Amino acid sequence: MNDAVTKSYQDQAESLKGSIAGMDGARAQAMSDFVAHGFPTARSEDWRYSDLRDLRGKAFAPATHAGEKPTIPEAFGETAARFVFVNGRFSESRSDMGDLWQAASVRPLANHFMANPDRANELVRGRDGVSQLNTALAKDGMVIAIPAGVEIDDPVEIIHIMTNTADRAAHTRHIIELGEGASAHIVERFIGDDGAYWTNSILQGRVAEGAKLSHTRLQEEGAAAIHTGKVFAGVGAGGQYHACNLSLGGKVARFEAHVRLMSDESRATVDGVALAATGQSHDTLTHISHTMPHTTSDQIFRTVADSRGKTSFQGKVTVNKDAQKVEADQSFKALVFDRTAEANAKPELEIFADDVKCSHGATVGDLDAKAIFYLTSRGIDPVTARQMLVEAFAASALERIENEPVRDALMARVGDWMTARADKPVPESK
């Protein structure tokens, strides 16, 4: 890898020494791992579809405080709290704690480790350069701990805004912990300007016995941005983790979900939609690990690629030797709008137990011309028919979002994306 890039990131990590209590050791180890391995390349199986040339070719300087007041997007509906991060740093003045502080422990990452420096060792360093740099260079994040039995009814929004950050990067780390029987819905939103910046975000989730964590992500980065977002979640007995990611923005965008089902009756549902316009690359990787018996997982992913757009999905399910009576399903479907669009799929099952029900499926195709003909024969114009089919296609991966305003907002984004392509030619019926 480029020595100047490595040196720049080493200097950035060195400048952060002592900035967050307890993190110096984790930073040093993560940076040592990054120096040894660098950024992943297409030779790595997990990264075979992702193009990280822009990351390998130059170092992104740390994002600084915004020189102007960014526009804060309106909430999708009622919220328990809204936490705003501008250029990777928590903005208390732009945030709204609501009533959440009365029911849960909420604090920025730096304050959390100041009170609990040993817990910095619990940070997931990851196995690739992207995760390792997040650990080495993270300056901020939100730590939310919901006590046992507490149910937070309205969503908690975490809004990431990048502005005036050309050739700069923000590395954020959030920690969400739910006690026994607790529940919460975290909504992450990522927006930015037209600069060529890099957002590198990780969320760690710990779901205790009988708890339920819903996690919705809406990625609407600027057109020249690089977005790398990861989730690492552990789920206890009878616990549930539900994730749904809608990827729309960025030049290169990648979402990863790593979920460990660690005790009986734990469950994970991981869904997503990626819509790639011309010149965009949207990549998704999931790894659901069934470590104990009587655990279940279900995944639904849908992608659409416009001309010269690319989507990819790599979904792996691992069932350990002693994890009997496991049920795992995985469904991936992709639409491509013309011959220059690209969709890749690599579903995997790695099963070491012998009493399981596991399945996966992947299909890639274009819009059904017969379905369009059917709709137009009933008086619906071709453009509207095409939009209806794509919205129905995406809805199957969004419908498990339980909060109606959030679900409707994501569906509206899909509709807007299709409206912008209303003049695309409609395939002829055969």
Among 213, 231, 263, give the residue marking a domain's end: 263
To the nearest 10 degrees (0 to 180), the angle between helices 3-15 and 129-137 is 30
If asked whether residues 379 and 255 sit together in one domain, one would say no
C-alpha–C-alpha distance, residues 265 and 263, integer Å:
7
Cα angle, residue 217 at apex, residues 90 and 363 outer, rounded to 5° = 155
336 belongs to a structural domain: no
Nearest residue to 185 (alpha-carbon basis) of 228, 217, 208: 217
Q: What six digits make up the tokens of 332?
A: 């991936």
Assess if residue 274 is contained within a domain. Answer: no
Q: Are 302 and 275 spatial neighbours (Cβ–Cβ below 8 Å)?
A: no
What's the mean pLDDT when you consider all of the chain?
93
Query: For residues 76 and 119, which has the higher predicted lDDT (pLDDT)?
Result: 76
Closest CA to 350 of 330, 373, 374: 330
Statement to judge: residues 252 and 383 lie in one domain: no
DSSP states of 87-134:
TTEE-GGG-B-TTHHHHSEEEEHHHHHHH-GGGGGGS---SSHHHHHH
pLDDT 10s digits, 374-400: 788 888 888 888 888 889 999 999 999
Query: Do residue 69 and residue 191 come from a single domain?
Result: yes
> Are 243 and 271 contacting, i.e. CB atoms less than 8 angstroms apart?
yes
- Of 218, 248, 263, the residue at which a domain comes to its end is 263
Domain identity same for 384 and 243: no
Q: Does 56 fall in a domain? A: yes
| Single-letter residue type at 255 | F
Q: Is residue 37 located within the same domain as residue 153? A: yes
Domain co-membership, 258 together with 388: no
List the one residue out of 147, 146, 142, 135 whose CA is nearest residue 111.
Answer: 142
Strand 168-178 and strand 212-220: the pairing is unpaired
Residue 307 lies in a domain: no
Given phi > 0 = left and psi -120 to 50 = alpha, else beta, which region is 373? alpha
Q: Are residues 273 and 367 in contact, defined by beta-carbon separation less than 8 angstroms?
A: no
Clarify whether residues 255 and 108 are in a common domain. yes
Number of structural domains in the chain: 2
Shared domain check, 204 and 65 = yes
Contact 104, 144 (CB under 8 A): yes
User: 175 and 47 in one domain?
Assistant: yes
Residue 117, in any domain of the structure: yes
pLDDT digits (tens, 9 = 90+) for 8-53: 999 999 999 999 989 999 999 999 999 999 999 989 999 999 989 9
Is residue 26, in this structure, part of any structural domain at all? yes
The answer to whether residues 225 and 94 belong to one domain is: yes
pLDDT tens string 127-183: 999 999 999 999 999 999 999 999 999 999 999 999 999 999 999 999 999 999 999
Q: Tell me, yes or no, whether 256 lies in a domain.
A: yes
Q: What is the mean pLDDT of residues 294-300?
A: 97
Name the amino acid, one letter, at 410. L
* Boundary of a domain, candidates 204, 233, 263: 263
Predicted structure pTM score: 0.95
273 domain residue, yes or no: no
Beta-carbon contacts of residue 240 (< 8 Å; ≥ 6 apart): 207, 211, 212, 213, 266, 267, 268, 269
429 pLDDT more than 50: no
Residue-number span of the structural domain to which 394 is assigned: 368-430
- What does the pLDDT read at residue 222? 97
